[in-house]
Amino acid sequence: MTIDLLKGVNLYLIGMMGVGKTTVGRLLGQHLGYGFVDIDTCVEKAGGGKSITELFAELGEPAFRQLESQVLSQVCAFTKLVIATGGGIVVQQQNWSYLHHGLIVWLDASVEILCARLAEDTTRPLLQNVDRKAKLQFLLEQRQHLYRQADLRITVNEGETPEEIATKIIEQIPSVLKPGVLSTE
């Protein structure tokens, strides 16, 4: 049902660091028979195989954001993909013109959940050497109005598995897609 309605249109997962975009996106791709692309992984390849942390440190955030936009502009030319974005993709206005090529799904979790998941993380440069909870709260406050522009908001609750979240997304997609809306017939 959901697969028929989508007609190959890409799904973009947006939301805060740690909410599970990469983990859930991979599963969602498998369930839908779609390919899976992680924008961070593509940025690392485009950046010569350097990690996100190295690219942040060497390029600085503005140039990282440019590279991220460039990658997104290339990825959105393809179809039948689930695309896990980086949490900051929503900040660049121009990225919305690429995201709107597909259906945008916001994974939304509390700062407490994000904090617990990222407590030991060393791969998110924005969370190094800071009060993690305060930083996540600050970023969420800055970005919430942007995440709200998604077509579909999925609340991620404590204890829900990635599988359960993927199922929830698949179940809710029809509510934002009317039959025929994406048809080219």
Ligand X SMILES: Nc1ncnc2c1ncn2[C@@H]1O[C@H](COP(=O)(O)OP(=O)(O)O)[C@@H](O)[C@H]1O
Ligand Y SMILES: O=C(O)C1=C[C@@H](OP(=O)(O)O)[C@@H](O)[C@H](O)C1
Residue ranges at the known binding site for ATP: 18-23, 124
Q: How many residues does the chain have?
A: 185
**Sign of the CA dihedral with 20 first, then 23, 29, and 30 last:** negative
Of residues 8, 119, 161, 171, which one binds ligand X by CB under 6 A? Answer: 161
Does residue number 21 form part of the binding site for ligand X (CB under 6 A)? yes
| Smallest distance, Mg ion to C-beta of residue 180, A | 33
The 3-state DSSP class for residue 76 equals: coil
Q: Compute the least distance from the CB of residue 100 to ligand Y, in Å.
A: 19
Task: Candidates 22, 47, 90, 95: give the one binding Mg ion (CB under 5 A).
Answer: 22
Based on the shown chain and the rule CB under 6 A, indicate whether residue 21 belongs to the binding site for ligand Y. yes
Residue among 34, 29, 30, 25 nearest 7 (CA): 34
> Residue 174 binds what, of Mg ion, ligand Y, ligand X, none (CB under 5 to 8 Å, by partner type)?
none
- Binding mask of the shown chain, residues 27 to 56, with x at each position contacting ligand Y by CB under 6 A: -------------x-----------x----
Q: Does 11 bind ligand X (CB under 6 A)?
A: no
Give the pairing type, strands 81-84 and 152-155: unpaired
Helix (H, G, I), strand (E, B) or coil at 175: helix
How are beta strands 35-38 and 81-84 bridged, if at all?
parallel
Known binding positions for Mg(2+)? 22
Q: What 3-state class would DSSP assign to 156?
A: coil
* Beta bridge pairs of residue 153: 106
Binding residue for ligand Y, selected from 101, 124, 132, 135, defined by CB under 6 A: 124
Query: Is residue 127 a contact partner of residue 121, using CB atoms and an 8 Å limit?
Result: yes
List binding-site positions for substrate: 40, 65, 87, 143
Rule CB under 6 A: choose which of 19, 42, 52, 55 binds ligand X: 19
Query: What's the number of CA atoms in the CB half-sphere (13 Å) around residue 26?
Result: 6
* 48-67 binders of ligand X (CB under 6 A): none
The least CB distance from residue 95 to ligand Y, in Å, is 12
**Listing from the earlier edge strand, what are the strands of the sheet with 11-14?**
35-38, 81-84, 11-14, 103-108, 152-155
Residue ranges binding ligand X (CB under 6 A): 17-23, 84, 117, 160-162, 165
